[in-house]
Amino acid sequence: MIVQAQKTSRRGSGGFSSESFSAKGDHRLFPQADFEKAHFDDFFRLFPAFPLRKAIRDSDVLDLGSGYGGKTVEYRSRCEARRVCGVEPFESMIERSRSYAEAQGVDQVEFQVCGPRDIPYPDESFDIVLSHDVLEHVEDPRVSVGEIRRVLRPGGLSVNVFPVYFGAMSHHLDYVANLPALHWLFSPRTLVHAVNEVLKANPQFGTALQPEPLLAFDGSREVLPGLNGLSGIHLQSLFASFERLSMRRIAMGPRGMGLIVNSRLPVQLRDLVTGTVACILRKPE
**Tens digit of pLDDT for each residue in 141-160?**
999 999 999 999 999 999 99
Question: Both 121 and 157 in a single domain?
Answer: yes
Domain total of the chain: 2
* Torsion angle (degrees, nearest 10) of CA 20, 257, 36, 24: 20
Answer yes or no: is 250 within a domain. yes
Within the chain, which residues score under 50 in pLDDT?
A: 254-257
Q: How many CB atoms lie within 10 A of CB 209?
A: 11
- 118 is a domain residue: yes
Please tell me the predicted confidence (pLDDT) of residue 255: 47
pLDDT score of 253: 63
The CATH number linked to 69 is 3.40.50.150
The answer on 88 and 146 residing in a single domain is: yes
Q: In whole angstroms, what is the distance from residue 277 CA to residue 93 CA? A: 26
- What's the domain range around 50? 39-163+229-282
Residues 57 and 197 in one domain: no
Distance of CA 274 to the CA centre of its chain: 15
Distance CA(224)–CA(53), nearest Å, equals 34
In a domain, 25, yes or no: no
Q: Please indicate, yes or no, whether residues 47 and 65 belong to a single structural domain of this protein.
A: yes
Q: Are residues 101 and 216 in the same domain?
A: no
Q: Is the distance from CB of 258 to CB of 248 less than 8 angstroms?
A: no
Q: Give CA–CA dist 32/21, Å, rounded.
A: 8
pLDDT tens track for 194-214: 999 999 988 878 888 999 999
Q: Do 244 and 203 have their domain in common?
A: no
Cα torsion 247, 253, 259, 263: sign: negative
Domain shared by 57 and 176, yes or no: no
Which H or E run includes 268? helix 267-273
Note the pLDDT of residue 63: 98
